[in-house]
Every structure is written in C-alpha cells, then in structure tokens.
Structure 1
C-alpha cells in the first residue's frame, strides 16, 4: 500500500466491514448499548442527503412552528447519535441528558442502528437522495472537514464512492437496506427530489406521520423557515457555530447549493457512463428508483 493510500485511511476504521471514523469507533459500545425511548424519533440518512433540511422541518413540527424555540445549534437540538470526538462532541451523552421526546440524527444503516430503537418501535424517517448528487456533495464535504484526507480529483473520489470507500460505506447497500424496511409502519421513506419538487406535500406527509394535525399556518411557517436560502444564512442550521478545526467554511460553506441535478456540472461524459454501468449492477433487482433531476 503506498503512502497516499495509507494516508487516506488514517482517520478511518471499520465496523462490520463498513468504513467509519476512528473517533466514532473508539466508543462504539456506547452507541450499540444506547437505550431508546418509545417516543424517540430517528432521522436516518446516508451522508449528504438533506439531513439538516429534514431535521429542521421535523424540529419545527415538534416546536409547532415556533422559530424562537429553534434558536439553538441544530446539533444540540437534534444530537448526532454516533458522533464522538473525545468530550467535545458526544451524541450519546447529549441524548441521555435530553428530555423526551427526543429527535435523533444518525447515518447508520438498519443493521448498525442500536437494537433498542427497533425493540421500542420508535418512529423513523429515512431521507434518500440520488447517488450522483450525493457523490458531489460528499466530495465538497471531504474538502471542508479537516478529519478527511485529500479526496483527490472529483473522478478519483467518485471511484472511492462507488467502491464504498467512504465513511458509512456503500450508498447502494445503505439505501437498499432502508428501502427493504419501507413497508414497516414505524418507517417513513422519503425522497430528497420529492421534497425539492413539492415541499408542501412532503411536510404534510411528515406531520401526519408524526401524529400531528397539519394547519395551513403551521405548514406555511415550516416551508418559509426551511427554504435553502433561510437555512444557509441561519447560524443555527448552517454550522458556522462549529470551530474551524471541525468544519472549515473558508473552503466553502457547509450549505453549498441544495439543488437536484448539480452532478451535471461535475460528471464528465465518460465518468457518467462508467457510473451508470456500475449503478445498474449494484441496483440490479432493486425496486428502489430515484430521479437524478427534477
């Protein structure tokens, strides 16, 4: 293995064969043994799939559209379950100290999600985004978060992405394993592209799933507060509160474009053809269909 390859894996380890941040793995037993409460809500996504957007919407539903109650960093209101950086960031600790009902953020696949969430029949929301846009967003995330190695060129990174050599492993396995649970009454499976196309319809769907009653006023407030433009300038959702050592927004902002179809600005014709062929192999037999543009 040459030095560039070993450098790439320096801050990563594996859990059940899936690439993961070493800092998270150091305390993995805390994650595995985490005790869910029956009224917990789990927001699960593969990284860079609209996690912050869906999280803010769900929190606004719980806060009944009161923007004032959302004035704290999103990672405090909705702790990141498996996130751990010594004592500075500790999702498990944050969640244990929270009053119910808790909203839990995770990027874990169903197999890695603490078993107590399944046993307590907690409601779960999974947001899925097309693989090409995820790859683009993940590439930029690698560039701005110092724990990541240099991703190389975009096409080099896409190769790693296709091979599942990124934190949380294969996008194909992750999305399909959650898709297989879509008929479970405790899970709501949503698509990023549907949210971009008709946010009102998806917000109403979420409100119903969470056992609330939608009112026009509430839906309007949520839609207004969670537009990309609003969230990009909101210090409680744009991650500017985090120190530079965790997220360097001088490289570029955490909230970059928030659109569907940006992959067209990054994939060459050759890379796109290669990706499509690989995608077809990986998704063979799957009923999960995604739109790559709206």
Structure 2
C-alpha cells in the first residue's frame, strides 16, 4: 500500500522456483514500473524519497555496474579542483554515501558488523557507516554533498533535479555480466547460480534495481535538462578526454590541457584498478567480500560475448529491441 509520505505501492513478490537470486531473500516490487529490491528497502524508501535536496548536491547514478565508480571519481575530482591528495586519502565510499546501500545487509549481518566495530576501535566509524542510514550520513555532510545511488529518478526525491545529476549508462549485456561477477564476489550475496541463471533473473526482473531499461530510460528522458548530464560508458572508454571535458563544462569548471591530461591519466583503467581509494577494500577487511576478488574488474566493452551462447544472444537481441522500440535511446555499442 502507498502511504501519505510515499506515493508508490510496495508489493511482496513470490520468486518462481526456476529463478535463482542473491541470498534467496524475499523481494518487493515498487510502483507502476515494478522496480525490484530486497524487502529491507521497504524501511528506507520513504526516507530517501522525502530527503532534502540542495542545489549544491551532486548525484552520480546508474544501473549497477555501468561505470558508476569510475564516474564518481571523475566527478569528485572535477568539482573539487583536482584535489588528488584528498581523493587518495579518503575512500570513495566515504566521499559518496550509497543511498540505498544499507538495504544489502539483513539484521544478522548488521549485528556482526556492529559487533566487530565494538572490537576494532580503529575501524569503528567505517564499520558503523557501512550499515548506518545513508540519508543520515548525507544530512551530516557539508556541502557540496556527493551521493551515489542506483535508484531511478522516480524513486529519488521529486525535486532531485534541483541538484546536479550525472547518469552513466552501459550496454546492458556488459553491465549484467559485471553485476554477476560483483554478486559472486560478495560473501553476503550468497549467490550459488551460474551466469545464465543470473541473466535470466535480470531479464525477467527479479534482480535488485531491475527493470534495467526503465532505470536507464527515466534518465534518458531528462537528458536535456540543464541539471542532468547523461554519459555512456562506451564513450568514456573510447574517448575519455571528451567525456572529461563534458563533465567539466557541466560543472562550469575550466582546466588547462595539461590538467585534463593528468586527470585522464589518473583515470586510466590500470591506474584506477590499482587505486586503493576506489576498490572497496573495507568490504574485504570486514569479511563481506572474497579477498581474491576485485571490485574494479576488467572494464571491457563487448566482453559479454565471452558469456553468451547462441540462445542467450538471440534472447538478448529480442529483449533489447523490444525495450528500445518506443524510444530514441541508442547505445554506442549497438550502432
């Protein structure tokens, strides 16, 4: 049922026995577009929808594994006058609270993390922030406040576009391959399926943050709004400098050619992959992520071909075609 402070109906969802999802948790479906989340999102949906928006706020948002982390680092440095020293010193997770992030932890996992925080004084604050309400964290931040989310525009505050928003989209086949590897790397996800099972769950809208195309299309429809910048991951990989300059223009920042070149160098894939500030090392340290896995993986475009058989390729083609039929959204990788 929708409530006075939340406009969307939230329904429990029965997962078919043929569908394999993370944690095999109970899930909910929200609103007319049917966005999927673990049931833990129910407790924070209204708080996020009704949170304060400031004109100085900066949102970086996307469907999961679309280049979000890369874009976060780029945006933060552009806005903060290329302050590499602070960027290396303060983890990206501290610079950008993950709005719906706490939904990923059930009560028993939260208790383990909080118990560990009592035993590890040096890590206490970081550990507590992992499970603390991200809305509270945002409210405590000085401006400009940087916010990460995978929520679509419709589930964010209605006046979110009073802030500056950067959306990044990626070929859904590559994004879902990357999403699969992330879930496999996370101990808390407890996913024991193979890629094909994960793909089916994503396409049939049983994975969190699905449906993919509705998420992307909501941002695409607002791409000409002066406060929203829409980027494609494939364009960033092909010509990073052009994307960097677009971000600079969007935030009204002027940098010299040498400064742009240094920023591009900082963001090159090999350097980025080995940057401890963006690699979610805390998740490994507290036992939530397998230590032999990397948060920043390969960053390839077109890597999905290594995972799809003929049947899956045909199914993906049909799925993409159906979802792009009534929109002018086109991915660089599909042109």
Q: Taking structure 2 as the reference length, what is the TM-score of the superposition? A: 0.81
Q: State the alpha-carbon separation in 2 of the partners of residues 24 and 245 from structure 1.
A: 23
Pick from 140, 151, 161 the counterpart of residue 97 of structure 1.
140
For residue 28 of structure 1, what is the aligned residue in structure 2? Answer: 45
Deviation, structure 1 residue 5: 5.7
Residue pair 1:44, 1:126 contacting (<8 A) in 2 also: yes
Distance 1:242 1:248, change over 3 A: closer
Residue pair 1:80, 1:105 contacting (<8 A) in 2 also: yes
Q: State the alpha-carbon separation in 1 of the partners of residues 138 and 210 from structure 2.
A: 25
Unaligned runs of 5+ in 1: none
For residue 10 of structure 1, what is the aligned residue in structure 2? Answer: 25
Deviation, structure 1 residue 40: 0.7
Instruction: Pick the structure with greater CA Rg.
Output: 2
Question: Which is further off, 264-273 or 47-56?
Answer: 264-273
1:194-205 map, 5 Å: 194-205=235-246
Name the SS for the 1:242 alignment partner: helix
Alignment size in residue pairs: 292
For residue 134 of structure 1, what is the aligned residue in structure 2? Answer: 175
Name the SS for the 1:55 alignment partner: helix
Higher helix share: 2
RMSD: 2.2
1:206-285 map, 5 Å: 206-243=247-284, 247-250=288-291, 252-285=293-326
Residue pair 1:260, 1:293 contacting (<8 A) in 2 also: no
Distance 1:3 1:265, change over 3 A: closer
Question: Which is further off, 201-210 or 5-14?
Answer: 5-14
Q: State the alpha-carbon separation in 2 of the partners of residues 7 and 126 from structure 1.
A: 25
Distance 1:163 1:114, change over 3 A: same
Pick from 27, 50, 55 the counterpart of residue 72 of structure 2.
55
Unaligned runs of 5+ in 2: 1-15, 111-127
